Amino acid sequence: METVNIHGAKTHLSRLVEKAARGEPFIIAMAGKPMVKVVALDQPSETEKRRLGFMTGQIVVPDDFDRMGSDEIENLFGTGG
């Protein structure tokens, strides 16, 4: 991740903001000390929990998943006919 000093950030702000909007965050430092991180608004923060695919590779869905228990369901509720 790119780190720029505050003077460089002021000088090249437009270019840096365009890069951040494309998903390339950067850090602004003052006297060599990192002060802020600039990221695109639609980019999830590092602390935000991401749920999609959180168990990838840990479970297997059976091929007959949509038919599981169909006999029991038919016995309980009938066919309606």
Per the domain annotation, does 48 fall within a domain?
A: no
Mean pLDDT of all residues in 69-79: 86
Q: 9: how many CB neighbours lie within 10 A of its CB? A: 20
How many independent structural domains does the chain possess?
A: 1
pLDDT in tens, 50-69: 677 878 888 888 898 888 88
pTM for this entry: 0.50
Contact in structure between 28 and 36 (CB atoms under 8 Å): yes
Per the domain annotation, does 47 fall within a domain?
A: no
- pLDDT of 12 > 70? The answer is yes
pLDDT at 80: 60
Per the domain annotation, does 33 fall within a domain?
A: yes
Q: Looking at the chain, how many residues does it have? A: 81
Q: 15: how many CB neighbours lie within 10 A of its CB? A: 9
Phi, psi (degrees; rounded to nearest 5) at 6? -65, -35
pLDDT in tens, 34-50: 999 999 987 556 666 66
| CATH number reported for the structural domain that contains residue 22 in this entry | 3.40.1620.10
